Structure 1
C-alpha cells in the first residue's frame, strides 16, 4: 500500500538551488552600481554600461541552468 508518492524530476530542485547564485550575483552587481554612482555621480552613465553587461552575464548563467534542468533527462532507478 502506497500512502504517498513523489513524482517529478529532481532537476527542477537542482535548478531552484542553482538559481540562488545568480540571484546573489544580480544583487552584488546592482549594489556595486549604486555605490559607485553615489561616490562619483558624474560617472553614472559610464558605469551603467558595465551594469547592463554584468547583469546580462549573470542572468545568462541562470538561463543556462534553466535550459539544462529541462534538457537533461531524469535517470530512473
Structure 2
C-alpha cells in the first residue's frame, strides 16, 4: 500500500509541474513553463483568455478585439502589456501578422 502511494506521488510529481519564470511580470504576462512526462519536455503555456480580456478591455469593439488577440496569442505565444501599443515587445510574429486586407491583425 505504501509503495503504491509513493509510486502515485512520484508519477504526479513528474507529470505536472508548473513554474512561473522570475523574469515574467505576473500581472502583465501570465506565462508558465509546464514540464510533462518522464522525458521532461518543456512546453510554454500562456493564459491567452485572461491576457486578451485585459488587453481589449478599453477597446471600442471588445469582442472583435478579443477574438483577434486570441488568434495572435495562440500563434505567437505572447500578448503585449497594457491596453494599447507595446506591440514590438512580442516580436516579429505579433507585429507582422496581417488580415486578408493587409491590415495589422493583432491589437
TM superposition score normalised by structure 2: 0.28
More strand by share: 2
More helix by share: 1
Larger-Rg structure: 1
TM superposition score normalised by structure 1: 0.35
